[in-house]
Structure 1
Amino acid sequence: MNLANKITVARICLIPLFILSFSQYPQWLADESPFFSFMNQYGINIAIVVFIVASGTDKLDGYIARKYNQITNLGKLLDPLADKLLISVALIMMVQSGMIPSWMAVIIIGREFIITSLRMIASEQGIALAADHFGKIKMVMQVVAIAAILLDNYPFDLLTSIKIDYFLMLIAVGLTVFSGFNYIIRNFKTLRLGSMK
């Protein structure tokens, strides 16, 4: 396994740490254990750091893969999987904590299921559907919006009382929908021609 793939696997391994850090533990457990008491008090801060570090490795593994010619089929499979898992887990945890409404998570996660299904159909026809520019912008916006929500609107709250983090999430949802429709429309003709062969 090359370095780029190892970084991708490390990103996947950070997801359970994010879950453990984000979770709130029962008070009786916190009273019995200094560790769980610490996690209840500072776990969200650890989760924010883990999320930002994990998100940053997405650019790092891609850069290394291209620079050192380490692009592999395993990497092509694991990299988007790691991204989807990280974003999906973060959204689900945020919904459970009441940080965002459930419809936002449903739209973003639903879009990923639809596009992944489309890619699987294309793969069965021997067609490789590459990610497009809007998909990459969407991913960056999702990471920025989730980080802003996790930071509870910091540092924007130092300048204004407006919930900038919520508006960023709305933009991320909008871009998710737009990029999904654009991807489907752009590849519909390719899929149709492939099915006619």
Structure 2
Amino acid sequence: MEEIRETGGARIGMANATWPMATLIVNRQTLQLKASIIGDLVFRPSDITSIEPYTLIPVLGQGIKINHTVPGYNAKVIFWTFGSPETLIRKIEQTGFLVNANPIPADVAVKVVTAQTGGSFPVKKSAAIAVLLIWNILFLYDIIRFFNGEHKRFPLGIGAQLALAFVFLISLLLLISVPVRNLILKPGMEINGIKSFLFLLMLITVIMFTAISIFPK
């Protein structure tokens, strides 16, 4: 078996991504856990100490725990699956990943090191802070108007609409613009890992924007 690709959920530290927001990809050279916005982790065989079954709730909360030695990653890394954790571990073993003691190709090694050095969170810290700051500033406009008695619904107004439109625009640009991706995502991070999250975020912002637009002021 050259490669396996499984869809499921994931938990990285305290952050949790439900099915189908996570993908586990394993071949002989790397094990990658793409968990949307909560993290994109990649490991070499030498980074893994063991992979063991993990059960929180039978059937609904079971998966595998990936024990590793990467300093920049959270120690608790779990992939949730509806299937048997033991079967999934056997599939991983069949790829040869766990017993691969050979050096991985130099180009693959560089990508792994770059990803690990940047940490698991796919967005640059400065970009995340900037987006949150703009979001809060736009909402602040409605808060000020509310306390000034200019409108009665808190905090739903033009500020909230602008904030939602801003998040929608950022999400769209991430999907279609390479320069924006380079500006916001960490080096080595791919847009495919967070596409499902971005589509969901855009849908939510459209629904909320529409609701605010027809909500009585």
After TM superposition, the score normalised by the length of structure 1 is: 0.31
- Please report the TM-score for the alignment, with normalisation by the length of structure 2: 0.28
Question: Which one has a larger percent strand, Structure 1 or Structure 2?
Answer: 2
